[in-house]
Chains A and B, each alone.
Chain A
């Protein structure tokens, strides 16, 4: 009796397929992980840049007006949107001299002024910016807050 020859194998076994998929997944997993980290890092950078610009903004304004103006700020005069010593929302894009990206609404800001302790009359100005809790930028930004500082000296006139 002659044996009927076995037909040649034309496919993969289930085990092979599973193994293959496993190998491919293992190969691609770090790639996708890295891809995700890259994206997060990129968004973090974008958020940090925005936060920096929002922190710099009052510093530029106060520096432009100078020490004498700043030393009585909040007592005799103030600018809307720039309160002293309280966390406040930042308005988004508005027509006006100060324009900001629309994402600015997702940040809070606090401005503080403190007299210098040395002989030289001056004010230490500190601006902190932090993302609104639960907002998109809160997820993006890795740091809790961004701080910008300067010193306003009383200049000879």
Chain B
């Protein structure tokens, strides 16, 4: 009776325990699977990280394996080595497990236009793009004792990241202007002052003529195709004048005074025009009075001057002129002073000092028209003195009179009074021929009368300009020219600027925006304090690592006072509201490139150490506040692009700007590739 009961109970318990056993066994199997999957996912994370790191590293430099792959937008998958993951995998997996991991990358998508449909690429050969790339990792875990069998676990992991290919230098043929917007167009120029003409007029030419200040743009040692251009915005004399009432020059030009050192740029001109007696008597009306008194004195019936002559002598001279005889220099100075008193604005600025050395400080190069033509754009003119003086010549003059004598009239010839021929006398000096100055009291006496009467003589000789003037008709460089027929609207070839929509614009226009495509910027709105976190700037190590385009909100301080130069390792643009540079910047290698772009203020230079970077100060709000302020002598090896030059804010010194030839590529692009750590998509799946 009890035996069946026991048997039933036994069977029941057996089934129960058996069921529990299978449940627990499943649980253990699940736990094993869980552990295996956890291992695999951890390996997968490490592998995907390492793959991204490899891509980031190999795309940072042009020689990297991934750099051309990104730039060319290759459709072929790129194999990625994972040495650290392999080592990690071997250590992590318990025996007898073994793993195999393979990583590849592929470009998923790319875009070559902005959100507004504006093309990033300035030419079909350009490769600017933003896109998404995929890192894919295949992982297999096997039991090493069961080779050939199906793997215990096979996972595929993918991550999508964003990448940006940005051209930092695009080809520019120095013989031709651009024909489309390239966001790195500003780097074509060694010096570009956006509101150049306006600043020149407002400062009455002091923007290019400051006592004790010089900016030497030195690129004479560069081949023509690698030289940087020099342009002052608005210098287009063919367009109607942009000058406000009272502003000079009325033409849309800037000029540079030509000093002695550049005297060979002064157009050579020497002419002499003999003056007829009637002209002499017109210019010196007091001679009639003198004659009348002589008639009385000598008891003559009547008398006339004969052979009263003189010479108008025309010549040219540097401005300022320091070599020559004291009397000549004094005469030139007086002529220039009188001219200034008759002019206004930029034309009248005194003291007359030499202009900036925009073509370098080597006189022979600066005067070489081929060299100057290769670097200058727009109407950059030279200014020198065209001087005309009148010198009476009474040495052969006589007085021919008649005297009544009984029975007739006696012709008589008398010498002129001695004071008229005295070499040191009033009538032996040279009279500057200038328009009569507006300033009251500027001239007086005989000279005032001379100047008042001079226009009537000038009108009679249209072929011979008889008024002295500051000559600003000729473009900078060279020495050829005809002062009787100065060129009209002389200018170097003009650059062409475009906005992002491809419309041609002026330099002063709001569309003048370097690196304007917002979507090409890798980061935006970064605070200055984050520069260190982002590894862009390591002050302790003295390293700047630009990569792609980064925009900072605020003013960025770089370097330490009297500190070692910061080493530039990478290529990119750092934009900020403004910059303060306390130490020099030195490129670590020839491929490195740093552009500092101040968008709402100035770039303050507090060091005289070499700065190997491009400085751009352009106010994007159109307030014209973009400028560079050199508190110490500037030693820039790169380029300088600004709204205004504002040399009054620079320390009086000789500042040097050497154009970096790597910024001017006749045929090739310089790119920066940046990859974003941000994961746009991630998935790990079992196969």
Q: CB within 8 Å of B: which residues of A?
A: 20, 24, 27-28, 31-32, 34-35, 37-38, 41-42, 45, 48-49, 52, 56, 59, 63, 68, 116, 118, 120, 122, 124, 148-157
Contact = CB atoms under 8 A, between A and B. Distances in A.
Contact of B50 (A35, A149, A153): A153
A120 B49 CA distance: 11
B83 interface: yes
Contact of A149 (B28, B52, B91): B91
A5 B27 CA distance: 64
B547 A124 contact: no
Contact of B49 (A35, A52, A153, A157): A153
Given A52-B38, A124-B88, A150-B42, A118 B535 contact: no
Contacts of B13: 28, 31
8 contacts: A34-B17, A34-B20, A38-B21, A41-B24, A120-B50, A120-B53, A149-B42, A150-B45
Contacts of A34: 17, 20-21
Interface in B5-35: 6, 10, 13-14, 17, 20-21, 23-24, 27-28, 31, 34-35
A45 B534 contact: no
Contacts of A116: 84
B626 interface: no
Contact of A68 (B14, B60, B91, B535): B535
Interface residues of B, number: 42
A87 B23 CA distance: 35
Interface of B: 2-3, 6, 10, 13-14, 17, 20-21, 23-24, 27-28, 31, 34-35, 38, 42, 45-46, 49-50, 52-54, 56-57, 60, 83-85, 87-88, 91-92, 533-536, 547, 675, 677
Contact of B677 (A28, A42, A52, A155): A155
B677 A156 contact: yes
A49 B42 contact: no
Given A52-B35, A116-B84, A156 B42 contact: no
A67 to B, nearest CB: 9
B88 to A, nearest CB: 5
Tell me whether chain B's interface is mostly helix, strand or loop, or mixed: helix
Given A31-B17, A52-B38, A120-B84, A151 B535 contact: no
Nearest to B19: A38
A133 to B, nearest CB: 24
B17 A38 contact: yes
Given A31-B10, A157-B547, 10 more contacts: A31-B17, A38-B23, A52-B38, A56-B38, A59-B42, A122-B84, A151-B46, A156-B57, A156-B60, A156-B547
Contacts, number: 100
Contact of A41 (B28, B52, B535, B536): B28
A155 B53 contact: yes
A147 B247 CA distance: 81
Contacts of A68: 533, 535
A150 B43 CA distance: 8
B28 A151 contact: no
A149 B85 CA distance: 12
Closest 9 CB pairs of A and B: A156-B56, A38-B24, A153-B53, A157-B535, A151-B46, A31-B17, A157-B534, A38-B20, A153-B49
A43 B85 CA distance: 34
A36 to B, nearest CB: 10
B46 A150 contact: yes
A42 B50 CA distance: 37
Contacts of A122: 53, 84
Nearest to A147: B92
Nearest to A52: B38
A59 B39 CA distance: 13
Contacts of A49: 31, 34
B26 to A, nearest CB: 10
Nearest to A35: B17
